[in-house]
Amino acid sequence: MNELQVLPTPARGPQLWWGMLFLFLVLSGLVYGAFSLNAWLDDEQQLPVRDIQISGKLTYLVKQDVELAIRRNQPGSFFELDIQRALQDVEALPWVYRASIRKEWPNNLHVHVVEQQAVASWNGDMLLNIQGGTFAAAVPEGLLLPKLFGPQGSEQTALQGFHAMQALLLRSDVQVDELVLSERFAWNLKLDNGLRLNLGRDEFIDRLQRFVDIYPLLQKDQRQAEYVDLRYDTGLAVGWKPASAATSG
């Protein structure tokens, strides 16, 4: 009868400790590598944003101002740069209407800018763009803009009225130099020849058409008109400059 022999179990203590030590070293290496990689990515000397390419039709905006707006509040690291923050900083520049920013590997940025298009000054301290929105910017030298005034919130109404009147005045060879929209939404104009028009609140386009129709007669008159009041259902009233003022003018 064969006897069953039970072999002694080899001691596993040393192998277990070596296995745990190996696992610890692997995990430590991974943690150290992650920290090292993060530190390397944060280090702007390792991968800084080197080139900021700016595109778009720019007339009054300076490219250096766009680059400075991005770098002023951002870390130098390409990976750490916050696109949303950079976009806010660029769009806060006076002449920027809209912008987009994207990262380009390995360490460049591309910024596309749509510049504000100023069509008029607004209330003496702001500018109006073609959408009827206001923005604050210094008027560049040589840029002549019509002056629009009106209550807060009436920007688009004033701009639409201005465009309609300007189109109507084209064939009379005069332009709107100043437009005032009162609190009661009455329209007053000053033309580029100094003549003032009072159009009132209602049917101001029809009233301006009446002025266009009689303007050739005013030009033929030896007297010089100072203002024309068109707040009548029919007809108008003309105020004449004194003879001395008309002669000196």
48-94 pLDDT, tens per residue?
A: 778 899 999 999 999 999 999 999 888 777 778 889 999 999 999 99
Structural domain including 94 reads 51-115
| CATH at 244 | 3.40.50.11690
d(CA 125, CA 153): 15
Q: Grade residue 2 by pLDDT with cuts at 50, 70 and 90.
A: low
Do 73 and 128 lie in one domain? The reply is no
Same domain, 111 and 87: yes
Asked whether residue 223 is domain-assigned, the answer is yes
Alpha carbon of 71 to those of 82, 140, 196, 201: distances in Å? 11, 26, 50, 51
Same domain, 94 and 146: no
CA distance 35 to 80: 15
Instruction: With respect to residue 22, please indicate whether it lies within any of the assigned structural domains.
Output: no
**pLDDT tens for each residue of 105-158:** 888 899 999 999 999 999 999 999 999 999 999 988 889 999 999 999 999 999
Average pLDDT, rounded, for the chain: 87
pTM as predicted: 0.76
- 109 and 178 in a common domain: no
234 shares a domain with 133: yes
Q: Same domain for 111 and 128? A: no
**Is residue 41 one of the residues assigned to a domain?**
no
Asked if pLDDT for residue 20 goes beyond 90, the answer is no
Give the residues across from 105 on adjacent strands: none
Residues 6+ apart with CB under 8 A from 241: 223, 224, 225, 226, 249
Considering the domain architecture, whether residues 207 and 123 belong to the same structural domain is answered as yes
Q: In the listed set 65, 87, 115, which residue is the last one of a domain according to the structure?
A: 115
If one compares 217 and 80, the residue with the highest pLDDT of the two is: 217
- Strands of 56-153 (E only): list them: 96-104, 108-115, 118-122, 126-129, 134-135, 147-149
The Cα angle at residue 154 between residues 235 and 57, in degrees rounded to 5: 110
Please identify, among 115, 147, 168, the residue that sits at the C-terminal boundary of a domain. Answer: 115
pLDDT in tens, 153-168: 999 999 999 999 999 9
Domain contains 31: no
Domain assignment present for 34: no
Number of domains in the chain: 2
Report the pLDDT averaged over residues 203-229: 95
* 247 compared with 137, residue with greater pLDDT: 137
Decide which of 115, 148, 164 is a domain's last residue.
115
